[in-house]
Amino acid sequence: MKRIAVLTSGGDAPGMNAAIRSVVRVAAAHGVETMGVQQGYAGLIAGAFTPMTVRSVGGIIGMGGTVLGSARCPEFRTEQGRRQAIAQMQAHGIEGLVVIGGGGSQTGNLMLHRMGFPVAGVASTIDNDLYGFDQTLGVDTALNTALESLDRIRSTASSHHRAFLVEVMGRDCGYLALMTAIAGGAEQVVVPEVETNPDEVARELRQAYERGKSHAIVVVAEGARYNAERMAAHFREHLDQLGFELRVTVLGHVQRGGTPTAFDRMLGTLSGAMAVELLLSGRYGYIAGWLAGKVQALPLEEVVGHKRELDPKVLQLAEVLAQ
């Protein structure tokens, strides 16, 4: 291969820029050019390619977000759209593609692979919902951001003897909420994987109040049936159940921005390097990510379309620690 392309797709994640930088510089070390694709798959279809050099990626390792941008692209879901994307790459002499992104992004990557185009992936999503990997790029930063917010909220919650519902991101995966709750010492956690009765949550908060706790915090995953808004609406109708006054904080996109942690910088760097090595060694259709204490490659076929489950033992531990 003489020229490859790299794109970021889906929700941005801290560490994406570290992965982009690694792809460009490792490729250059092998005498391979890298084209950056602007705005994800939409840019791939439009042929929005920009040459990237060792110098052009200088200074981006500590930046949040993605310098390549990201956008939704319904057109890429069609065969015609994917064929146009491949035609654009071939017209620009691009012989391989690295896709940095989560489940939806890697689904598109797999489709290109099945159409015969050489691809590799980097597992990147703060939701940590990619099957097969222990932790995806961006999770560590998002978790630490959520944890810092929780620590700050606890201070004011304790000062005013209040209960807080703190909603974190994660889509349909409760990993981020669960780990935030455990590391942050929350009294309760609500995740999509477990059906939660608001009355049971209220009972736990009441018991905490009666035990003399000065505050209570419930971490709620955005994808739960009773997210923070629905949970709060239920509690407002049954304020006598809680004991505490209630407040709601939705962390939202603050978890996706900001400076990546050292772990995410290293994970992005190592994963980006492996993605290039996969392409140059002819191992197409693989994705690099963190597994069993190191960066490893899994076939996209094994990752895409499968659901990652929460560890039931960790869920049980969260209940024990909340007492």
Q: Is 253 labelled a binding residue?
A: yes
Q: Is 25 labelled a binding residue?
A: yes
Q: Is 211 labelled a binding residue?
A: yes
Q: Is 187 labelled a binding residue?
A: yes
User: Residue 6, class by beta-carbon neighbours within 10 Å (0-12 exposed, 13-18 middle, 19+ buried)?
Assistant: buried
Instruction: Count Cα atoms within 13 angstroms, Cβ side, for 61.
Output: 19
Q: Is 206 labelled a binding residue?
A: no
CA distance 214 to 193: 29
Q: Is 126 labelled a binding residue?
A: yes
Q: Is 22 labelled a binding residue?
A: yes
Is 127 catalytic? The answer is: yes
Q: Is 196 labelled a binding residue?
A: no
Q: Is 256 labelled a binding residue?
A: yes
Q: Is 24 labelled a binding residue?
A: yes
Say which of 12, 127, 140, 264 is annotated catalytic: 127
CA distance 255 to 153: 15
Q: Is 84 labelled a binding residue?
A: no
Q: Is 254 labelled a binding residue?
A: yes
Q: Is 212 labelled a binding residue?
A: no
Q: Is 21 labelled a binding residue?
A: yes
Q: Is 162 labelled a binding residue?
A: yes
Token code pair at residue 291: 């597994």
| Residues of the binding site | 11, 21-25, 72-73, 125-127, 154, 162, 169-171, 185-187, 211, 213-215, 222, 247, 253-256
| Residues of the binding site for ADP | 21-25, 154, 185-187, 211, 213-215
| Residues of the binding site for substrate | 125-127, 162, 169-171, 222, 247, 253-256
| Residues of the binding site for ATP | 11, 72-73
Show which residues are catalytic.
127
